[in-house]
Amino acid sequence: MARSLERIQQEITAQEKAIGLLVTEFQTIYSQYLTLLGQALHQQLMQASYHVCTQGYPESFLALSFDGRHQLQQDLRKISKESQAELRSHLERWLKEWEVGEQFLAVKLPKMNYPFSKLQEEIEEEIAKTLQNISIQTNQLLQDRGIIPHKLPSKVLEAAAKSEASTEMNPGAANLLNLVVETKNDEDPEDSNLMRILAINLRLSEIEFSDSSLTVTRNQIRSLAAKGGKLQRDYRKIQRELAIAKAEAAWRSSWFEDN
């Protein structure tokens, strides 16, 4: 037996409230996750940079003056702080778009065909881009200060930071890669040498592995995304049921038997 319009509308209201609460919880958990990620990112970036300077190119690092080494460390901290702010900006932009209120429930939610899992994927894509940019900036800084050899073209270093498939992970430390590149002599194009390069390549999986609280929060996000997906599917089914019930009522209201 078909349910009454009143019963269907009551269920829609309950579903809207549940989705609104879940969106708020999703925002809270993601905020915690990005805060933890920013802290772990800072530690991992400093550790990876330390490894490049002391294990990869100790002679080049020692060639810097005391002030030069101190300034390099300060610049690395600056990159880290800027990256933390960039991570927060991803969340703030999303919070503004998904602000829960009457406007969201009355206008956005009924038309929303946007799975929480897809939202999670898009945020993680932005995080991956941020990590790539930090890797590129850090490698460029290390090259500018003479740590990473200048013989390596900047474009090669940039491409390597964006591609995990073509690089070899360094077994000695996280968020590093080993590159073997061919360098050519400008005066003699046929004269080339192979050069092994150690560089920064921040990876979300390795950053998370270093901090168990990040893994726990990530699992909470996945659980909420799955729950949100089910709520959205149920909500669309109830909307469909409401549309059918209204159409049936409209049909009956305009139907008159022939005399």
Q: 78-110, pLDDT tens digit by residue?
A: 999 888 888 888 777 776 666 665 656 666 666
Q: What angle do CA 213, 218, 219 make, to 5 degrees?
A: 100
At residue 165, the pLDDT reads 41
Whole-number percent of the chain with pLDDT over 90: 26
The domain containing residue 26 runs over which residues?
5-254
Per the structure, the count of domains in the chain is 1
Mean pLDDT of the chain: 81
> E strands of the chain, at which residues?
168-169, 176-184, 192-200
Domain membership of residue 235 (yes or no) is yes
Domain membership of residue 259 (yes or no) is no
Domain membership of residue 167 (yes or no) is yes
Q: How many CB atoms lie within 10 A of CB 243?
A: 11
162, burial (CB in 10 Å: exposed 0-12, middle 13-18, buried 19+): middle
199 close to 176: Cβ distance less than 8 angstroms: yes
The rounded distance, in Å, linking the Cα atoms of 16 and 31 is 23
Phi, psi of 21 (to 5 degrees): -65, -40
Q: Is the dihedral of CA 131, 132, 138, 141 positive or negative?
A: negative
Domain membership of residue 39 (yes or no) is yes
pLDDT at 75 over 80: yes
Tokens of 3: 């349910």
For the stretch 190-228, pLDDT in tens is 556 777 788 899 988 889 888 889 999 989 988 888 888
